[in-house]
Chain A
């Protein structure tokens, strides 16, 4: 049986990683950051939990290194969060372990692990195999969490280490109160909008449809017209709504990579050669400033709200 060490900063992440690997063998969990306070709840999965009350990556890495040497696991796993990528890539480097991120459909054999993952900006799916020991970071929310069976235990970890990289400040990100991953309909805006005030056209459409507002990279990252939780794409959110309406979005590969799981995609753009039309089910070649008001008017009529 393989020995599995899970590294998690939330109960949900720990549950998913245990779900993916619970049949592989004995599992222990290193619970750091927010998960430290949830250690008892994580122990209910019937596993040993090492509780580490820190979310400074240098400290977590030192703890992981120590645990790795004691436990000698054949799989080190977790969910692909940024801090997990940081910590795990260092562990993989130190011991020359194979490592992957964003994995799903995991299968553990006697001396190997198989998994799938998106590649080439989500345009391809790779099926890969790596020898054990290996590091496997999972794609978030693609694996069913394990079931809690009780009977675990918690041990507090004390790591006496002065971090080399010191945390000197933290600033919460501004949130626009959206939850795009769960949205059924998304109205998404791009550079086709000339001014921030003009976004109200999209807001009105979204309100009418009960949709959430998404955006392309420039709107959040460069122009900062919307907070980053609206950002759809490879570096932003990956979304899977029933209906995705892209307004004034040209369709850069990084944006497309975030919307491929949408059921129906509508594109509205005045440039008929825009890439977005190749990735859309329904396209309207028109100036958004003229078309969106007409669409709103028609929707209102047909909803009996005119």
Chain B
């Protein structure tokens, strides 16, 4: 009783973006890392573990291939989750479903939950992942499992078999109450994840991990959406560092530049 499933993505790290000569993104040259907001979800899961009293399971679906090339980054991402309080990790990595599609990822998550007989009180995910940022996995999983869904939570409290959460919307905060089990997506503001300690990292490597293939999971939906092109945004900034002997001189030069650019009228 009282288990938590937390969804963890090994996402393309936008900071490692490289361009091919034709201006498209060299995806193969980019590395993967645990998606930022999933760190918050893991942190929240380990906090709530002590209240709910169960185990924390993570589920990771590899969406960027090929598997052979990504396995090291994938392992690092899962290790970080394990170090931060996840007890057991499930991973689905299969070249058959890369590059992925949220429709596939959600069906894989639901497939793993069913196959492994996981019966969580709470499924936690980040509101979106740093690579695609479409923010739809948690909602899909909730609908497929027929569970209540609370999105954009920046605060969660568990009491008397239900959760009270604060949804962070554009113009207002909405406090909601939902029965458990439930699916909750969290925002960055919910907590401040700290990096794992050395001891936590060492312990993580001994925790159970199970890697599955597409054929192991029932109800898997094949990717539908196709990324036809991924092009690097070519914003050329001038990157001029203004030098001068005094701050007065630098300020004058800066003002001159801005007037010349037509963005400042004196």
**Which residues of A does B touch, CB under 8 Å?**
57-58, 81-83, 85-86, 88-94, 96-102, 114, 118-131, 164-173, 185, 209, 217, 221-222, 234-235, 242-243, 253-254, 260, 263-266, 272, 277-286, 290-291, 294-295, 297-299, 302-303
Q: For the complex of A and B, list the 10 residue pairs with the smallest distance between their C-beta atoms, beginning with the closest.
A: A89-B139, A93-B140, A93-B143, A89-B136, A121-B14, A169-B175, A90-B143, A243-B263, A86-B151, A120-B14
- In whole angstroms, how far apart are the Cα atoms of A14 and B159 in the complex? 39
Contact-residue size bin, chain B (C-beta under 8 Å from the other chain): 35 or more
| B:106-164 near A, CB below 8 Å | 106-107, 130-144, 148-152, 164
| B:161-194 near A, CB below 8 Å | 164, 167-179, 182, 187-189, 192
- In whole angstroms, how far apart are the Cα atoms of A266 and B102 in the complex? 38
Task: Report the number of A-B residue pairs with Cβ-Cβ less than 8 Å.
Answer: 238
- In whole angstroms, how far apart are the Cα atoms of A19 and B213 in the complex? 43
- In whole angstroms, how far apart are the Cα atoms of A298 and B266 in the complex? 11
Q: Tell me if B's interface is mostly helix, strand, loop or mixed.
A: mixed
Chain A: minimal CB distance from B152 (Å): 5
- In whole angstroms, how far apart are the Cα atoms of A128 and B261 in the complex? 36
Q: What would be 17 A-B contacts, judged by CB atoms less than 8 Å apart?
A: A86-B139, A89-B151, A119-B133, A120-B25, A127-B229, A128-B227, A129-B228, A130-B224, A164-B148, A165-B182, A168-B175, A169-B174, A170-B173, A185-B264, A217-B188, A266-B258, A281-B238
**Which residues of B does A touch, CB under 8 Å?**
12, 14-15, 17, 25, 36, 101-103, 106-107, 130-144, 148-152, 164, 167-179, 182, 187-189, 192, 221, 224-233, 235, 237-242, 247-248, 250-252, 254-255, 257-258, 261-264, 266
Chain B: minimal CB distance from A34 (Å): 10
Are B17 and A168 in touch, CB under 8 angstroms? no
Q: Tell me if A's interface is mostly helix, strand, loop or mixed.
A: mixed
- In whole angstroms, how far apart are the Cα atoms of A166 and B163 in the complex? 11
- In whole angstroms, how far apart are the Cα atoms of A170 and B168 in the complex? 10
Are A99 and B17 in touch, CB under 8 angstroms? no
Chain B residues within an 8 Å CB radius of A171? 172-173, 175
- In whole angstroms, how far apart are the Cα atoms of A66 and B45 in the complex? 34
Chain A residue nearest to B142 in the complex (CB)? A90
- Neighbour of A298 across the interface among B228, B233, B251, CB < 8 A: B251
Are B263 and A124 in touch, CB under 8 angstroms? no
Given A102-B133, A123-B233, A221-B189, A93-B173 contact (CB < 8 Å): no
Given A282-B254, A291-B250, A93-B106 contact (CB < 8 Å): yes
Are B140 and A90 in touch, CB under 8 angstroms? yes
Are B178 and A93 in touch, CB under 8 angstroms? no
Are A120 and B17 in touch, CB under 8 angstroms? yes
Are B266 and A303 in touch, CB under 8 angstroms? yes
Chain B: minimal CB distance from A63 (Å): 15
Are A123 and B144 in touch, CB under 8 angstroms? no
Chain A residues within an 8 Å CB radius of B239? 277-278, 280-281, 283
Chain B residues within an 8 Å CB radius of A86? 139, 149, 151-152
Given A96-B221, A164-B148, A298-B255, A281-B229 contact (CB < 8 Å): no
Chain B residues within an 8 Å CB radius of A88? 136, 139
- In whole angstroms, how far apart are the Cα atoms of A168 and B175 in the complex? 6
Chain A residues within an 8 Å CB radius of B228? 114, 127-129
- In whole angstroms, how far apart are the Cα atoms of A286 and B258 in the complex? 18
Chain B residues within an 8 Å CB radius of A122? 233
- In whole angstroms, how far apart are the Cα atoms of A126 and B246 in the complex? 45
